């Protein structure tokens, strides 16, 4: 499935955090507040999106694309990953809630996500990276199979990677991409709440 394959690189973020630290990727970064993200969420065009709902597995709330398929989630002690697949099957949006073994900067997690995406297939290249007015670190990358854009929010021992993408061998469905992009913008991590203990419980069952 497109979302599973397209976002495998993002899931690897949780697995390669130690490598990022060893590579010297730590640096200071700004973390947006919950209030800032909620105020930003209120400005999003909700056309084609469901109402905002909490998703306990990823410790965040968001407005998922309406009538998109929610793929199975298998949270564990390292991370939880929720993803939605478009009706065409060529576009996806998702959120990874990764548990860090030690505090890392937003820049370090972004570095990891970029590096892992380049390893997926061949011809991987970074198209851009920037920080928005809220302090979220964004990256955009593409290889011969997928095009992905995403951002990272880090707070303490938790890191959220929010992304959307599509298969490059198909003509981009601009309506689906727009819906995915707006859904990604509605994500508000629980920056002020303790992590959900269900990840550890799930890993032990």
The answer to whether residue 96 is domain-embedded is: yes
The answer to whether residue 46 is domain-embedded is: yes
Our count of domains for the chain comes to 1
Residue 174 Ramachandran class (φ > 0 left, ψ -120 to 50 alpha, else beta): alpha
Domain encompassing residue 188: 2-72+82-152+177-204
The answer to whether residue 167 is domain-embedded is: no
The answer to whether residue 77 is domain-embedded is: no
Q: What is the pLDDT along the chain (205 residues), one digit of tens a residue?
A: 444 444 444 444 444 433 343 333 444 457 899 899 999 999 999 999 999 999 999 999 999 999 999 999 878 888 899 999 999 999 999 999 988 887 777 777 767 666 665 555 557 787 888 999 998 988 888 888 889 998 989 888 888 989 999 999 999 999 999 999 999 999 999 987 655 545 443 333 4
The answer to whether residue 107 is domain-embedded is: yes
Which one-letter DSSP state was computed for residue 200?
H
Q: State phi, psi for 151 to the nearest 5 degrees.
A: -140, 165
**Using CA atoms, how far apart are residues 54 and 117, in angstroms rounded to an integer?**
28
What are the structure tokens assigned to 8, written together?
Answer: 């495998």
Q: Are 89 and 69 in contact (CB under 8 A)?
A: no
The answer to whether residue 166 is domain-embedded is: no
pTM (predicted TM-score): 0.79
């Amino acid at each position: 499935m497109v979302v599973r394959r397209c976002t495998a690189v993002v899931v690897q973020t949780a697995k390669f955090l130690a490598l990022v630290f060893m590579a010297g990727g730590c640096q200071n970064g700004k973390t947006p507040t919950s209030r800032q993200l909620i105020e930003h969420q209120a400005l999003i065009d909700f056309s084609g999106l469901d109402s905002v709902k909490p998703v306990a597995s990823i410790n965040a709330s968001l407005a998922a694309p309406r009538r998109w398929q929610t793929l199975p989630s298998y949270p564990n002690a390292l991370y939880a990953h929720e993803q939605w697949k478009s009706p065409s099957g060529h576009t996806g949006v998702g959120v990874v809630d990764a548990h860090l073994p030690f505090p890392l900067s937003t820049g370090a997690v972004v570095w990891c996500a970029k590096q892992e995406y380049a390893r997926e297939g061949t011809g991987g290249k970074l198209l851009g990276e920037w920080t928005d007015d809220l302090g979220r670190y964004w990256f955009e990358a593409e290889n011969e199979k997928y095009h992905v854009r995403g951002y990272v929010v880090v707070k303490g021992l938790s890191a959220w990677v929010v992304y959307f993408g599509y298969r490059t061998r198909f003509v981009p469905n601009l309506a689906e991409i727009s819906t995915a992009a707006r859904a990604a913008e509605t994500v508000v991590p629980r920056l002020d709440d303790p992590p959900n203990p269900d990840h550890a419980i799930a890993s032990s069952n």
